[in-house]
Structure 1
Amino acid sequence: MAVLLEMIDIHKTYPNGTMANRGVNLEVHEGEIHALVGENGAGKSTLMKILFGLENPTSGTIKYKGEAVRFQGPRDAINQGLGMVHQHFMLAPSLTVSENIVLGDEPRKGLFKVFRDRKTELNQIHHLIEQFGLKLDPNAVVDSISVGQKQRVEILKVLYRGAKLIILDEPTAVLTPQETDELFDSIKSLVSQGYTIIFITHKLREVMEISDRITVLKAGQTVQTLMTKDTNKEEISRLMVGRDVLLRVEKQEPQLRDIILEVHNLSAVNEKGLPVLKEVSFQIQGGEVFGIAGVEGNGQTELVEVITGLKQATGGHVTYLKEELLGKSIGEIRKMKIGHIPEDRQTTGACLTSTIEENIILDVYGQKEFKTGPFMNRKKLKAFARDLMETFDVRAENEEIMAGSLSGGNLQKVVIAREIAKNPKLLIASQPTRGVDIGAIEFIHKEIIKKRDEGTAVLLVSAELSEIMSLSDRIGVMYNGELVAVLNNTSELTEQEIGYYMLGIKKKGAAADESEAISVS
C-alpha cells in the first residue's frame, strides 16, 4: 500500500514545560485501518490535534500524499481531505440529521447564494446514506435518535466535507455490542471504497478485530508499529504499559452476606418533569458486585444521584442497612460508610483548585485520629495522603500538587483512593475506568474486587459492557428508565444477549428475576 500520511519526529512542548510528544513517528498507509493505542498521557490526543490543525508542533514534519504540510487550523485539514470524529459528539440536538450534517456548509441557491437549497441538501444526504449504508432518516431530530445513529451522523458530517482520511477517537465508548458491530461494518465499507481510518481506542479486543496495523505510544514516544495479524492483546498491553497486564479479572465465587442496599419502586423525573426512573427495584448483598448495564441516558446517572442524595426521588424507597436514605442530605449520606466514585471526576469527584492532599482528606480530617485537641494534626494528614498516593499509584511529585494539574487517570486514582479508604460497607462506582488506560484499569478492577471480597456491597455502573461482565456477579439492565432485567452473570450469558435488553428489544420481569437471582450464591 502507498504511504498516505507520515508524521516524522513530532515534538510538542507546552509553555508550562509539559512535553506531550517527544519524537513521535507515525506512518499510515492508504486504504488501511490503523489503530493508535497507548496509556493516558502517552500523547495520542496531542498527536491527532497536531495532525488536524488544532495544535502546532514544536518541531517535526508532517507529510500528506508525499508533500510536507502544516495545517493552520481544522479548516485547512478538512480542505485537504482529513476528517475527525471526536469522542464526545458535536451535534445540535434540536436540529435534524440532515441539518447537522451540512451545518456551516449548507448548499445555497439564488442570486449571491443567499437562500438555502433544501432540495439539493436532502438529495446529497440521501445519496451519502445509500452510498455508505449508514441507515438514517435525514428528517429525524437528532435528540430523538439512538447513540449509534448519532455516531453515524458524525461520520456522515466528515464524509459530506470530502474527507478521505478519517480519525475516529474512541468511537465505541458508549455503543452497545450490536451498535459496535454495525459501526465496524460501516468502517469496513468505507475502507473498501478507498477511505483510510485512524482508530484511537483503549479496547484491545476491538483493535485486534478491526485494525490492519497498530502503532503503540508510550510517554510521548513511538514504541513500535505492529501488523495486527502478527500480534496479540498481551503483547500490545505489554508495550503500552511496560509490563505484563492481567486482561481478565481473577475473582472467586461471591461469599454473600446480609442485604446492604435495597431499592424499591424508585421513581424520579428530570428538570422538564419527564420520568427518568420508573419504579426501579433491586437489592445488593454484602460480598457481591451488582452491575448496571445500559446505553447512557437510560436512567443510570439519575439512579446513582438519587441514592447519593444529589437528586430527589418522586416515589419509592432506598434503604441502606435498613435505614431510609431518601430525604437525607449529601453530607449525612457521606458519613454513613458509603463510598461514591462519581461518573464525572472533574465536576463532582474532585475539587480541581485544591491539592491532592485536600481532596484525599475530605472525609477524614475531622476524625479523632487526625486531631490534636481541637486542631487538625497536619503531620498525620500529610502522611495519610502520601500513603494513599503510594498505595494507589498516584503519579505526582507530592501531595501539594493541585488536583486540576493531574492527568485524568491520576485524578481518578485520587477519587478512588479517598472513597475506598473510607472502608465503605456500600461502594457505588459509576464509570470507574472512563478515559483511564489499561494499566490503571487493571488496578481499579483489582481494588473493586478486593472490597467485594472483604464484604462490601458494590453497585457498579459502567458504559463498558466488558467491564460489567468481568466484574459483576449479577447484572441489571436499564432501558428508558426501567430495570428491564436482572441476570445472573454465568458463563452462558453473552454481551449480545445483554445488548438486546439494552436496546429494548427484549424485556423480562425484573422483579421476578430479582427474586431468583438474589438466592444464588
Structure 2
Amino acid sequence: MKRITKEFPGVIANDHIDFDVKSGEIHALLGENGAGKTTLMNILYGLYQADEGEVYIAGKRVEINSPRDALRRGIGMVHQLFRQVHRHSVVENVALSASTKQILPVKEIREDFQKLAKEFGWKIDLDAKIWQLSAAERQRLEILKVIFQGVKILILDEPTSVLTPQGKEELFVHLKRMKEEGYAIIYITHKLDEVLEISDRVTVLRKGKKVKTLSTAKTTKKALARRMVGREVLFRLEKEPLERGDVVLKAENLIIRGDRGEIAVDGVSFKIYENEILGLAGVGGSGQRELIEALAGLRKVEDGSFKVFGEDLTNALPREIIEREISYIPENRDERGLIPSMSVKENLMLKDYWKRPYCKKFLLNMEYIRQDVEEKVSKYNVVTPNIETPAELLSGGNLQRLMLARETSGAPNLLIAAYPTHGLDVGSVEDIRKLLLEQRKEGSAIFLISEDLDEIMMLSNRTAVIYEGRLMGIVDVDEVSKEDLGLMMTGTPKEEVL
C-alpha cells in the first residue's frame, strides 16, 4: 500500500500512509482508537476506496472495489464489529460468505467447516442463530469463517479480545503455523504484550499518519506505547485500599434461561458492596450475558432473586432499574448500548431526556442539553467533529467513551460494566480503568465482566468465576494467580484449585 489517503467530513483518517506485509510474516498494526488502522485495512479489504494511493499484490498494482474483489485476490478480514446476519444460522452465515451460488450448498459446507472448527478446538453449534451466540462465540465464528475461504492475506482486528489465556495461546499456535505455511497476517491489537509475542514487524499510526515501522525484536513495550499515544502510559494501576461499605447488590440462586430455552445461569449467588469491584471471569458463552441482562431488566429471571439496597428488583422494568441509579455497559455497544444512526448528543441524553433539567414543561431544554453534552464530550475525551455527528461515524474507542460518558457521569449506585476496554488502545484502556477505580472511590459498587485476567486482577477486589452457568467460586484476587483463575474458567471448582 503506497501513500494511501482517505478523508471523511472533518477528518483525515489516512494521510499518505505506506504499509506492506510479506508472505510468511505477522505484521502488527498499532495506534490509538481513531488513528486510522481500521480505515486503512477497510481500504485493503475493499470496503472503502482510497482518495489517493495505490495497492500492490505480489508486485502488481490492483484495484479492490469490494470485499468480493479482495476475497478473489486472497484477502480476508475479521472485523472488530462482526459482519453477520443475525436471523440466519451459523452454517448459513458460513455458506453466505463462502459461496456465490444462488442456492446455498449448506450440506456440502457443514462437514468441511466442522472439521476446521475441530482443528482449532472450538465448539460451535452450526444450527444456532447468530443472535443466540455470545460475543466470544461470534468472534470465533468470524475467524473460522475467513480462514475457511482459503485466503492468503489475513487481517485480524482484535482477535483475542474475548479469548481465555489458553484460547489465546491456542490461536497463536495456529497463527504461527499459518505463518510457516506462507500466510501474510496483519494483526491489529491494543495489547502490546501480544504484539511482542506474535509479530515480526509492527507499524505505528497516530492521528492518521504513519509514525514508524519497526522490527518487533528491536523494540520494547514502553517504546511502542510512547510512539502510539505520544506520552508515557501506565500499564499497572494501583487500587487504593478502601473499606467496603454496605451491600449494594445481593443475588440469590438466580436461574436464567438463554435465547434457546436452555438454562444459562444455574443457581448463581453473590454480593457486591459499596467501594468494591467484583470481577466476573469466564470463557465467552458461560452465562455472563444472560446474567447481566437480567440484572439490567432486559431478561426474565426464572427463579431466585436480586435486591439492590434491600429492594427486590427481580424482573423489574429497565426504566425502574435506571431510576435506581443502576448503569449498564453492554458487551455489544453498537447493538445494545448505543443507537448508531442517532447523533452523539441524542445518544448521551437517552437515559435522561424525561428528567429535569433535560425536560422542562414537557419540552426538551435544548440549551441545557447542548451545554451538558459538550461538557461530557470534553470530560470523557470523545473525539467527534461535533455533537450532531452520527455515532456510527465514531471509532470503536470513541463509541466506548461515549457509552461511559452516559453511564458513569451520574456516579451510579451500581455499575454493570461488560468488557469496558474491549478493542481499545492502551491510552484509552488506561483512561477507562482509572475511571472505574474513581467510580469505586466515590462509593459505587462495580460488577466488572471481563475475559482479560490481567484486567480482572488489577481492578477487582474479589473475582467470581463462571463456567457453563455455574459459579466455580468467588476469590480474593490477592490470594490467587492468573493460572488459578484460568483453571477455574475451564470448570475446576475453587476447592480443587486453592
State the alpha-carbon separation in 2 of the partners of residues 307 and 120 from structure 1: 39
TM-score if structure 2 supplies the norm length? 0.86
Q: Give the match for residue 221 of structure 2.
A: 233
1:462 to 450, 453, 458: 450
Instruction: Summarize deviations over 1:52-90 as a string: whole Å, max 9, x none.
Output: 233322211222222222233334433433333444375
State the alpha-carbon separation in 1 of the partners of residues 78 and 384 from structure 2: 32
* Contact preservation (8 Å) 2:95, 2:105: no
Q: Give the match for residue 433 of structure 1.
A: 421
State the alpha-carbon separation in 2 of the partners of residues 287 and 156 from structure 1: 42
Q: Give the match for residue 486 of structure 2.
A: 499
Segment drifting more, 247-256 vs 76-85: 76-85
* Residue identity opposite 2:494 in structure 1: K
State the alpha-carbon separation in 2 of the partners of residues 225 and 285 from structure 1: 47
2:281 maps to 1:285 = no
CA shift, 1:457, in A, is 0.9
2:18 maps to 1:10 = no
* Contact preservation (8 Å) 1:102, 1:160: no
CA shift, 1:325, in A, is 0.8
Gaps of 5+ in 2: none
Taking structure 1 as reference, are residues 340 and 151 closer, same or farther at Cα in structure 2, changes over 3 Å only? Answer: closer
Q: Give the match for residue 56 of structure 1.
A: 49
Segment drifting more, 476-485 vs 66-75: 66-75
* Contact preservation (8 Å) 2:348, 2:373: yes
Q: Where do 1:99-114 residues align within 5 Å?
A: 103-104=98-99
* Residue identity opposite 1:104 in structure 2: S
Taking structure 1 as reference, are residues 94 and 59 closer, same or farther at Cα in structure 2, changes over 3 Å only? Answer: closer
CA shift, 1:377, in A, is 5.2
Q: Where do 1:329-344 residues align within 5 Å?
A: 329-344=317-332
* Residue identity opposite 1:437 in structure 2: D
Give aligned-pair identity as a percent: 38
* Residue identity opposite 1:216 in structure 2: V
* Contact preservation (8 Å) 2:90, 2:125: no
* Residue identity opposite 2:224 in structure 1: I
* Residue identity opposite 1:284 in structure 2: I
1:181 to 169, 172, 182: 169
TM-score if structure 1 supplies the norm length? 0.82
* Contact preservation (8 Å) 2:99, 2:105: no
Q: Where do 1:172-321 residues align within 5 Å?
A: 172-321=160-309
CA shift, 1:371, in A, is 7.3
Taking structure 1 as reference, are residues 163 and 414 closer, same or farther at Cα in structure 2, changes over 3 Å only? Answer: closer
**Aligned partner of residue 194 in structure 2, secondary structure:** helix
* Contact preservation (8 Å) 1:371, 1:377: yes
Taking structure 1 as reference, are residues 193 and 327 closer, same or farther at Cα in structure 2, changes over 3 Å only? Answer: closer
* Contact preservation (8 Å) 1:100, 1:157: no
Taking structure 1 as reference, are residues 373 and 198 closer, same or farther at Cα in structure 2, changes over 3 Å only? Answer: closer
Instruction: Summarize deviations over 1:128-159 as a string: whole Å, max 9, x none.
Output: 899xx64579x984759999998777666555
* Residue identity opposite 2:486 in structure 1: G
State the alpha-carbon separation in 2 of the partners of residues 414 and 140 from structure 1: 34
State the alpha-carbon separation in 1 of the partners of residues 351 and 143 from structure 2: 45
* Contact preservation (8 Å) 2:437, 2:459: yes
* Contact preservation (8 Å) 1:102, 1:121: no
2:415 maps to 1:421 = no
State the alpha-carbon separation in 2 of the partners of residues 226 and 156 from structure 1: 29
CA RMSD of aligned residues (A): 3.7
Taking structure 1 as reference, are residues 199 and 356 closer, same or farther at Cα in structure 2, changes over 3 Å only? Answer: closer
CA shift, 1:469, in A, is 2.3
* Contact preservation (8 Å) 1:101, 1:160: no
2:28 maps to 1:42 = no
Q: Give the match for residue 95 of structure 1.
A: 91
Segment drifting more, 439-448 vs 462-471: 462-471
CA shift, 1:215, in A, is 0.4
* Residue identity opposite 1:508 in structure 2: K
* Contact preservation (8 Å) 2:306, 2:312: yes
**Aligned partner of residue 319 in structure 2, secondary structure:** helix
* Residue identity opposite 2:314 in structure 1: L
* Contact preservation (8 Å) 2:29, 2:188: yes
Instruction: Summarize deviations over 1:367-426 as a string: whole Å, max 9, x none.
Output: 566677887655444333332222211223444444444333223223212222222221
State the alpha-carbon separation in 2 of the partners of residues 338 and 147 from structure 1: 23
* Contact preservation (8 Å) 2:294, 2:315: no
CA shift, 1:238, in A, is 1.7
CA shift, 1:265, in A, is 0.3
CA shift, 1:173, in A, is 2.0
State the alpha-carbon separation in 2 of the partners of residues 220 and 316 from structure 1: 51
**Aligned partner of residue 418 in structure 1, secondary structure:** helix
